[in-house]
Amino acid sequence: MVYIVLPNSMHHEFTLRAAKAGKHVFCEKPMANSAKDCREMIAACVAANRQLGIGYRCRFELHHREAIRFAREQVFGPLQHVDAGFGFAIGDPKQWRLRKNLAGGGALMDVGVYALQACRYLAGEEPLEVVALETKTDPVIAATA
Protein backbone atom coordinates (compact mmCIF):
# COMPACT_ATOMS: atom_id res chain seq x y z
CA MET A 1 0.00 0.00 0.00
CA VAL A 2 1.44 3.40 -0.97
CA TYR A 3 0.59 6.53 0.98
CA ILE A 4 1.40 10.04 -0.20
CA VAL A 5 2.07 12.68 2.46
CA LEU A 6 1.14 16.18 1.28
CA PRO A 7 2.15 19.66 2.45
CA ASN A 8 -0.72 21.56 4.10
CA SER A 9 -1.32 24.03 1.27
CA MET A 10 -1.74 21.24 -1.29
CA HIS A 11 -4.11 18.88 0.52
CA HIS A 12 -7.23 19.48 -1.56
CA GLU A 13 -5.67 19.56 -5.02
CA PHE A 14 -3.27 16.68 -4.48
CA THR A 15 -5.84 14.48 -2.70
CA LEU A 16 -8.09 14.77 -5.77
CA ARG A 17 -5.13 13.94 -8.01
CA ALA A 18 -4.02 11.00 -5.87
CA ALA A 19 -7.51 9.50 -5.67
CA LYS A 20 -7.87 9.80 -9.44
CA ALA A 21 -4.51 8.00 -9.78
CA GLY A 22 -5.73 5.20 -7.51
CA LYS A 23 -3.58 6.12 -4.49
CA HIS A 24 -4.50 6.11 -0.83
CA VAL A 25 -3.97 9.51 0.83
CA PHE A 26 -2.71 10.49 4.27
CA CYS A 27 -2.77 14.24 5.05
CA GLU A 28 -1.46 16.09 8.05
CA LYS A 29 -4.05 18.19 9.85
CA PRO A 30 -5.80 20.42 9.05
CA MET A 31 -7.46 18.38 6.35
CA ALA A 32 -8.22 21.40 4.15
CA ASN A 33 -9.00 25.10 4.33
CA SER A 34 -12.78 24.73 4.01
CA ALA A 35 -15.54 22.22 4.71
CA LYS A 36 -16.33 22.24 0.98
CA ASP A 37 -12.79 21.13 0.15
CA CYS A 38 -13.00 18.40 2.81
CA ARG A 39 -16.26 17.06 1.35
CA GLU A 40 -14.71 17.01 -2.14
CA MET A 41 -11.65 15.14 -0.85
CA ILE A 42 -13.83 12.55 0.88
CA ALA A 43 -16.04 12.13 -2.19
CA ALA A 44 -13.02 11.69 -4.50
CA CYS A 45 -11.54 8.97 -2.28
CA VAL A 46 -14.88 7.20 -1.87
CA ALA A 47 -15.47 7.28 -5.64
CA ALA A 48 -11.98 5.85 -6.23
CA ASN A 49 -12.38 3.27 -3.42
CA ARG A 50 -9.23 4.69 -1.78
CA GLN A 51 -8.56 5.43 1.88
CA LEU A 52 -8.20 9.01 3.15
CA GLY A 53 -6.52 9.50 6.51
CA ILE A 54 -5.82 12.66 8.49
CA GLY A 55 -2.79 12.72 10.78
CA TYR A 56 -4.11 13.61 14.19
CA ARG A 57 -1.95 11.68 16.61
CA CYS A 58 -3.16 12.93 20.00
CA ARG A 59 -6.15 10.64 20.30
CA PHE A 60 -3.80 7.65 20.27
CA GLU A 61 -1.05 8.88 22.59
CA LEU A 62 -1.00 7.13 25.95
CA HIS A 63 -1.39 10.21 28.16
CA HIS A 64 -4.34 11.40 26.07
CA ARG A 65 -5.95 7.95 26.22
CA GLU A 66 -5.56 7.98 30.01
CA ALA A 67 -7.15 11.45 30.24
CA ILE A 68 -10.07 10.17 28.14
CA ARG A 69 -10.43 7.18 30.47
CA PHE A 70 -10.40 9.47 33.53
CA ALA A 71 -13.16 11.61 32.03
CA ARG A 72 -15.32 8.74 30.76
CA GLU A 73 -15.02 6.71 33.97
CA GLN A 74 -15.49 9.88 36.04
CA VAL A 75 -12.40 9.03 38.10
CA PHE A 76 -12.54 12.53 39.63
CA GLY A 77 -16.31 12.89 39.34
CA PRO A 78 -18.40 14.11 36.39
CA LEU A 79 -16.77 16.44 33.89
CA GLN A 80 -18.05 19.93 34.58
CA HIS A 81 -15.92 22.28 32.52
CA VAL A 82 -13.04 22.21 30.05
CA ASP A 83 -11.00 25.35 29.37
CA ALA A 84 -8.42 24.63 26.70
CA GLY A 85 -5.80 26.75 25.01
CA PHE A 86 -2.62 26.50 22.98
CA GLY A 87 0.20 28.96 22.53
CA PHE A 88 3.72 29.03 21.16
CA ALA A 89 6.38 31.33 19.73
CA ILE A 90 5.62 31.30 16.00
CA GLY A 91 9.09 32.29 14.75
CA ASP A 92 9.62 33.49 11.17
CA PRO A 93 7.04 36.19 10.34
CA LYS A 94 7.03 35.06 6.68
CA GLN A 95 6.09 31.40 7.26
CA TRP A 96 3.01 29.72 5.79
CA ARG A 97 1.08 29.75 9.10
CA LEU A 98 0.72 33.51 8.81
CA ARG A 99 -0.45 33.48 5.18
CA LYS A 100 -4.22 33.15 4.92
CA ASN A 101 -4.16 31.62 1.43
CA LEU A 102 -2.01 28.76 2.78
CA ALA A 103 -3.22 28.47 6.37
CA GLY A 104 -6.98 28.81 5.89
CA GLY A 105 -8.59 29.21 9.28
CA GLY A 106 -5.61 30.74 11.06
CA ALA A 107 -4.70 29.74 14.59
CA LEU A 108 -7.88 27.70 15.17
CA MET A 109 -7.13 25.42 12.21
CA ASP A 110 -3.41 25.29 12.97
CA VAL A 111 -3.08 24.63 16.70
CA GLY A 112 -6.50 25.47 18.12
CA VAL A 113 -7.68 22.13 16.80
CA TYR A 114 -5.72 20.47 19.62
CA ALA A 115 -7.73 22.32 22.26
CA LEU A 116 -10.99 21.69 20.39
CA GLN A 117 -10.26 17.98 19.96
CA ALA A 118 -9.34 17.65 23.64
CA CYS A 119 -12.75 19.06 24.59
CA ARG A 120 -14.47 16.66 22.16
CA TYR A 121 -12.72 13.50 23.29
CA LEU A 122 -12.80 14.32 26.99
CA ALA A 123 -16.51 15.15 26.98
CA GLY A 124 -17.44 12.50 24.41
CA GLU A 125 -19.73 15.08 22.84
CA GLU A 126 -19.73 17.50 19.93
CA PRO A 127 -19.54 21.21 20.76
CA LEU A 128 -22.57 23.43 20.33
CA GLU A 129 -20.37 26.48 19.85
CA VAL A 130 -16.67 27.23 19.40
CA VAL A 131 -15.18 30.60 20.28
CA ALA A 132 -11.56 31.32 19.44
CA LEU A 133 -9.21 34.18 20.14
CA GLU A 134 -5.93 34.66 18.31
CA THR A 135 -3.35 37.01 19.78
CA LYS A 136 -0.04 38.04 18.28
CA THR A 137 2.28 39.61 20.83
CA ASP A 138 5.28 40.10 18.53
CA PRO A 139 4.82 43.55 16.91
CA VAL A 140 6.64 42.48 13.71
CA ILE A 141 4.39 39.45 13.23
CA ALA A 142 1.25 41.37 14.24
CA ALA A 143 2.04 44.03 11.62
CA THR A 144 2.58 41.51 8.80
CA ALA A 145 -0.27 39.09 9.50
Residue 16 confidence class, pLDDT cut points 50, 70, 90? very high
Instruction: Give the architecture (CATH level 2) of 1-55.
Output: 3-Layer(aba) Sandwich (3.40)
Q: Which of 56, 114, 121, 136 is catalytic?
A: 114
pTM for the model: 0.66
Q: What is the pLDDT of residues 32-82, one digit of tens each?
A: 878 899 999 999 999 999 999 988 778 788 999 999 999 999 999 998 888
Q: What are the sequence ranges of the domains in the chain?
A: 1-55, 79-145
Give the contacts of 109 (CB within 8 A, at least 6 positions apart).
Answer: 30, 33, 103
C-alpha to C-alpha distance for 2 and 18, rounded to whole angstroms? 11
29 labelled catalytic:
yes
114 labelled catalytic:
yes
What's the distance, Cα to Cα, between the start and end of the chain in Å? Answer: 40
How many C-beta atoms surround the C-beta of residue 65 within 10 A?
13
Q: Which of 3, 20, 29, 56 is catalytic?
A: 29
Give the contacts of 45 (CB within 8 A, at least 6 positions apart).
Answer: 15, 19, 25, 51, 52
